[in-house]
Structure 1
Amino acid sequence: MKDVYDVTIIGGGPSGLYSAFYAGLRDLKTKLIEFQPHLGGKVHIYPEKFIWDVGGLPATPGHQLIENLVKQGLTFHPTVLLNTKVEHISKQDDCYVLTTQTGELHYSKTVIVAVGGGIIKPMKLELEGAEKFEMSNLHYTVRGIQRFQDKRVLISGGGNAAIDWACDLLEVAAHITVVYRGEELPAHEAHVKKLKDHGVPIYTHSQIKALVAHPNRSEIAEVVVENQQTQSLMTVQPDEVLINHGYNRDHSLSYDQDIEPERDEAYNYYIMTNPKCESSAPGLYAVGDAVEYNGKVHLIAGAFQDAVNAVNSAKRYIEPEALEYGMVSSHNEHFKAKNKELIKQALKDKQPQ
């Protein structure tokens, strides 16, 4: 006997997690499927970055936002599957069928697509044997800025992410070197100027040619950099190497022809919906960076509104007589017991030890 969920959410980033929270708030049996081994979505790319534009939160580092989003998203105990890639969506009668990369089938009355711009994977350094340094001092993201305290850091890349890293590390690292294969850094002009004003060496037309291992440790001791114009070589001796050459995006989620959602003409990975996040296929919704509609806000704050609209639409699709919106939390029966627990804990914390 197949286990049918009210709503299945594909993607565990901010929009997917808030969809899971709100679906629980609306008493929907909910499943969340995520390809990565963790929840949080592409915020994991910038865990040390401060996020300023989420309502009600002061500047919050990405890793803390992830922690809060996950805690909130799991409030009503949805079924969560990690390391699971949904490859195809079809429909049998009134039920959506989600097929994973292993051939496993998941059944749901409605589906919320929260896959962002696709599954994001950093572009790796294309040098033989480079992967063996990923456990030591070769990095594709900054997971703890304190690691770079008083270190010599080599950054390869010239886009916004790479140069943002360089700017963030100015007051932390002992020395920063930037290499970029192009002629001019394509990052924000103000950030490039900041690096130059601080005397950061920037080598354009240059790329990493070789990594030289430390004779006694499994880490990089030297980096050989080649100038592609002159073919001259220089050697850098960094403590840490950061690579940001962009990201590969997997947009391989497919649909049966009769439920294929309408796509944005300019950016094919966007699913076109109305402002309620309803696609052209009844019962199929899209949220966050996966969706485009008139008035769409491409911010994390906008992803939360998408989630509310999609879940409310799903609720009414399943139960046409249901209220159009969920009850606000201050009057919602779901939170009475939880509020009592929080008050009890707060009073306990105030008691003298």
Structure 2
Amino acid sequence: MQLSILDQSMIPEGSTPTQALTNTIALARAADALGYHRYWLAEHHATASFASPAPEIMTARLSAETTGLRIGSGGVLLPYYSPFKVAETFRVLQALAPGRVDLGIGRGAGATARDARLLNPALGHSSDHAFAEQVSATRAFLGERGDQDGIMPSVDGMPEIWLLGASSSSAALAGRLGLPYSFAHFGRPEIVAEAVRTYRHSFDSRGGGSPRVMVGIGVYCAPTRAEAERVFASQRLFRQRMTRGDLRPVPAPETALAQLHGRPEIPRTSGPEWPPYAVGSSADVAEQLTAMAAAVGIDEFVVLSTIHGHEDRVRSYALLAEALGVRPRRVAATQDA
């Protein structure tokens, strides 16, 4: 089981978007040394919560800041863009970091209807068929068709393409296209097993590939359960605000606990078999992820941790990597961000 990171470049309360991007660079360096497999950047537009509208730019920066990590988008929201332009951009990234670039492709969210129209004034309703054609075109432009059409730069190999989603229909599409699939479990935990079954059942291996399943999950590790619940309080209040359309920066744990009346997270007595978040000591979290991977059929977890304090966030990822036996990586020294 491989372990990776999804970073939304969240903006902590009391901080700035610039500092959020600096934190992303620092976290990527730490992830590289800790031995994580890949590091993905999310795409969100016109929000005070995240400083992440351009994952392709951060991919370029982080590929220069790291040595062993795969770096990429998690993901590019393809309906907003030209497949030709996306292919050009990721060909450049492949030339800059050969064999280390991922192109995660998504379809939904990331922008309001207004912002989506600003991103692409010609944007209409994206049907399943139209999106599938966009994905296929991007794939072709990255490969032999792009070479034939003279798309530059001409590079050896191509980025690893993943299809992202949170539904059985996206799982089926990834399977039909013969692509690796990343399921956003933190968004739709109740259907993770169904989506993985659908993907594997639908997978077309005629292109020579084999099915690969990545699952995105929220993880909040600390030395004790009580401390993990404290840092998780920020995510609890942040998510409550999001459901009301309140997209402020991520609150500090003290702010969150005050507004949550100091209550710890209440254990679920019903709901999805596999919760969207793993919260606790590193041993507890590692046990939950290992059991889930075996039961559902997961090859890789991509971990999202909405933790206010940068040091707490790095600590959470370090504890998780150690508990799951990830081997640290020797990395070259880099300049300070």
Write 1 or 2 for the structure with the bigger share of helix.
2
Give the TM-score of the pair, scaled to structure 2: 0.25
Larger radius of gyration: 1
Greater relative contact order, per chain length (Cα 8 Å cut-off, separation 6+)? 2
| Larger fraction in strand | 1
